[in-house]
Amino acid sequence: MTGTNPLLQALKATSGAVERVLDPMLAVPDGPEARVVDAMRYAIFSPGKRLRPFLVLASSELFDVNRQQALRVAAAIECVHTYSLIHDDLPAMDDDDVRRGRPTVHKAFDDATAILAGDALLTLAFDILVDEKTHKDKGVRLELVRTLAQASGHHGMVGGQMIDITAGDHELDEAAIYRLQQMKTGALISASAEAGAILGRAEKRERHSLQGYARDLGLAFQIADDLLDVEGDPMIMGKAAQKDGRQGKATLVALMGAGRARQQAHMLAEQAIEHLSLFDERASLLRAVAQFVISRRA
């Protein structure tokens, strides 16, 4: 399947490269705290799509960013994404047993270890970003920390997750669901695409174009994810399906039906691509990934 498709090849290459960056950062210590590092490694070295790291690398290529620097930022963002999955899967949250085709961290270890592994991955992300190996310019490093913190805090990912798990108590309309998705998954996806512009000290309009691209891409991605939950094959997805309906989750698919939701995702993907008109053929992988997120089966 990965044979000749350049996007799938790029995604696979991203995965390997990010893992090579993270491996020495997650050296297992001698003491009894090794358990939490084992859990961090278990979570981060599981076969994910690596969409966010890919966006960091692809946006970095637009501005001729050093690849090792881009990989460090990609690794930091993957740490934040993985922490959010570990905590979201906990019994107190979404209570998921399977993730990326394997038992979730709290199943493979225990709840306490999963909480701590998530905490440590979030912390590690900031530790990676402030190191001078990430960028020699101090202002760039500070901007990366700020962008990641704001995307993942209570105004971003954590706030979105709070809305998501309490959404059963509210009746969310279309605008409220878009806002929820933008916070829960969109903010970190936007930060990933912006990272290349920050690292490359791009012009404001270039950074705004990438923000617009990432916002539409993130929403299309989330609708596709919700469609997969309704229609997908758990064997291919590597996680349980049809959980949203059972948990009474607020999704656009539930609100507008699969047909209109699919139309919406296609429109958003096209819109995402239009935001890239500023960029030449170096943006072709970013264009391809917008097509990919709405056609993927897992």
CA distance 193 to 207: 9
**Closest approach of a second copy to the CB of residue 87, in Å:** 6
Selected range binding a second copy among 12-20, 165-173, 200-208, 272-280, rule: CB under 8 A: 165-173
**Under the criterion CB under 8 A, does residue 167 sit at the interface with a second copy?**
yes
Residues 6+ apart with CB under 8 A from 206: 62, 63, 197, 278, 279
**Under the criterion CB under 8 A, does residue 116 sit at the interface with a second copy?**
yes
Contact in structure between 25 and 78 (CB atoms under 8 Å): no
**Under the criterion CB under 8 A, does residue 141 sit at the interface with a second copy?**
yes
**Closest approach of a second copy to the CB of residue 145, in Å:** 5
Residues 6+ apart with CB under 8 A from 4: none
Among 155, 260, 282, 297, binds a second copy (CB under 8 A): 155
**Closest approach of a second copy to the CB of residue 176, in Å:** 8
Angle, vertex CA 287, rays to CA 285 and CA 291, nearest 5? 110
Angle, vertex CA 172, rays to CA 169 and CA 176, nearest 5? 130
Total Cβ atoms within 10 A of residue 39: 25
Q: Which is nearer to a second copy, 70 or 183 (CB)?
A: 183
Residues forming the site for a second copy (CB under 8 A): 29, 31-33, 35-37, 40, 83, 87, 90, 92-93, 110-113, 115-116, 118-120, 122-124, 126-127, 130-131, 138-139, 141-142, 145-146, 149-150, 152-155, 158-163, 165-167, 169-170, 176, 179, 183
